[in-house]
Structures are given as structure tokens and as C-alpha cells.
Amino acid sequence: VRDGTGLDEVTVSLLVAARNGDLLYDISRWGEDVGIASKATFSRTKTRMEESGVIETEKVPIDVGRPRLRLRLGDERLDVDDESEFARVARSLLAE
């Protein structure tokens, strides 16, 4: 399913999460709970977006277990307030 910007639901969810500095674990769990996609799909999409430079991750230590990954925007061109411009830039970066 597309959102009208040419970006699928998982990509849009990860972009919004990165814009807000959310954890991959939280967004992928939410996405699976509401039926958007599996955690594996979120992880694969995150990897593709990282390779394109659209998002970055930073490790966040937790008390027990593997560190969580905090999502961040990976390209300063995404630092815009206008939602349609944000979507256009993200689409062009993913197409590169």
C-alpha cells in the first residue's frame, strides 16, 4: 500500500520514527501489532534505507540484552518542515 507519495507504509513509518528519534524495536513492534508488516520486514527496509543514506542508527544500551537501535535521519536534505517536501526528498534519496 502506498501513501500517495510513492512510499510504502513501512518506509513512511521508519521515516517518521527517524524524524522523531524513535527506537527501531518500538516502531517495528508497533507495526507488527497493528498489522502493517512483520518485524523482519521493518528490519529489511531499515537496512535498505541505511544503505541509501536516508536513515542512520545509533546503539542505545539497555540493562539486559542487545542494545536497541535509535533511528535518525541520515541526510540533512530531509531536515524540512513541509511534509510534501520531506516525502519528495526521501523518495529521491531512496531512488538514488
**1 domain residue, yes or no:** no
**2 domain residue, yes or no:** no
pTM of the model: 0.87
The whole domain housing 47 covers 9-94
Long-range (24+ apart) CB contacts under 8 A made by 76-82 are 78/15, 78/19, 78/54
Confidence label for 2 from pLDDT (cuts 50, 70 and 90):
very low
**29 domain residue, yes or no:** yes
- Give per-residue pLDDT as tens, 21-76: 999 999 999 999 999 999 999 999 999 999 989 999 999 988 888 889 999 999 99
Rounded distance between C-alpha atoms, residue 88 and residue 35, angstroms: 26
Q: Return the exposure string of 8-39: e unless at least 16 CB atoms fall within 10 Å of the residue's CB, then b.
A: bbbbbbbbebbbeebbbbebbeebeeeebbee
Domain count, the chain: 1
**3 domain residue, yes or no:** no
**26 domain residue, yes or no:** yes
Higher-pLDDT residue of 56 and 82 is 56
Rounded distance between C-alpha atoms, residue 89 and residue 77, angstroms: 7
- The CATH code of the domain that includes 55 is 1.10.10
**18 domain residue, yes or no:** yes
